[in-house]
Amino acid sequence: MVLPKTQHQPLTPSRINLATPYQGMVSALIKDGRVLDQNLGQNHLTREWLFTELKRRGVPDISGVLYAALDTNGHLFIDLKSENELDYVQEVED
């Protein structure tokens, strides 16, 4: 293993004693229009809170949500299904 000279080593926050905020994994709350109750419970949240947040953001129906997740700072991210995905029906021929 070859180590670069100190002047060519990457600078990291810890090398300059800089504190950084915690960045963890997001917690999925909705996948393909279905609430993940276990993840809601792990985040000490309720379905009522989730539905209130969706309505507050202009999402009237959970079936239109492709994915919703909560980040480590408590921010809710919502990705809606496209119009094509909502009405998609695959025709099968024999």
pLDDT tens per residue across span 3-59: 888 888 888 888 888 988 877 899 999 999 999 999 999 999 999 999 999 999 999
pLDDT of residue 2: 85
Give, in order, the Cα–Cα distances in Å from 31 to each of 2, 17, 38, 47, 66. 45, 40, 13, 14, 6
pTM for the model? 0.68
pLDDT of residue 91: 55
pLDDT of residue 9: 85
Average pLDDT estimate for 58-76: 93
- The Cα 68–Cα 34 span in angstroms is 10
Give me the residue spans of the domains in the chain: 22-85
Task: Identify the architecture of domain 22-85 in CATH.
Answer: 2-Layer Sandwich (3.30)
